[in-house]
Amino acid sequence: MDWRSIGSRIRRQREFMGYTREQFAEQIGVTPKFCSDIELGLKGMSIPTLLRIASKLKLSTDYILSGTGEEPNTTPISQMLQQCTPAQRHYAEEILKNYLMALDSPEK
């Protein structure tokens, strides 16, 4: 297993989705230190933790583990963002991040 690449894919998607390491760690039920170790490739993870990460980041386990399968930037939304100007893309990404964070909010 290439834990460093696995951690890099997790970190990249976590940051794209706008989660701090502390927020993300809490949401997947691990400590921020363990989350950091995963992202740096210093430690592996259990299957239940991998499944929670995949669910929270909306990634396939295949993509997390091997970099193959459905990549996060092959979605219709990503394709639309690629056609935007940099300024439009920035605003659209911010709107999407806020929307996803609002969906995860316990206040409903």
CATH number at residue 6: 1.10.260.40
User: Do 18 and 58 belong to one domain?
Assistant: yes
Note the pLDDT of residue 62.
93
User: Do 62 and 29 belong to one domain?
Assistant: yes
Q: List the domain range (segments joined by +) for residue 102.
A: 75-108
3-state secondary structure of 74: helix
Better-predicted residue by pLDDT, 80 or 55: 55
**Which position has the token pair 């997947």?**
28
Quote the number of domains for the chain: 2
3-state secondary structure of 11: helix
User: Do 47 and 9 belong to one domain?
Assistant: yes
User: Do 62 and 89 belong to one domain?
Assistant: no
User: Do 13 and 63 belong to one domain?
Assistant: yes
Distance CA(29)–CA(22), nearest Å, equals: 10
Would residue 66 be called left, alpha or beta, if left means φ above 0 and alpha means ψ between -120 and 50 degrees?
Answer: alpha
Write phi, then psi, for 81 (nearest 5 degrees). -65, -35
Q: pTM of this prediction?
A: 0.68
